[in-house]
Amino acid sequence: MDEIQFTCDHSCKNTCATLHEALTHENAILQIYKNVVDECNMLDIKNYINERIAGKRKVIFSLLQMLDEMKVKSQVIDEIAGSYEKISG
């Protein structure tokens, strides 16, 4: 398997490049599992792959939650900074 090359640019503002990269890869893996499970006719293997699909969906949901939290926190910080600038400016 090819090694994934990624370098974070550390310019986090309302988002995170690392989490977006992880989300992209998790979605790709989920799609592979979904394609494979459709082709499988062995119940044990199909059940195993369906468990992996459920796990990937949980990971994707968790990544999306973290990205949303980052956006909200960043917006709050921006609002606080904006209020401070209005008071001092």
pLDDT digits (tens, 9 = 90+) for 34-43: 999 989 999 9
CA distance 81 to 7: 29
CA distance 21 to 19: 5
**Rounded to two decimals, what is the model's pTM?**
0.76
- Return mean pLDDT, the chain: 87
Looking at the chain, the whole-number percentage of residues with pLDDT higher than 90 is: 56
pLDDT tens-place string over residues 47-72: 999 999 999 999 999 999 999 998 88
User: Is the CB of residue 52 less than 8 Å from the CB of residue 33?
Assistant: yes
Residue 75: pLDDT band (50, 70, 90) is confident
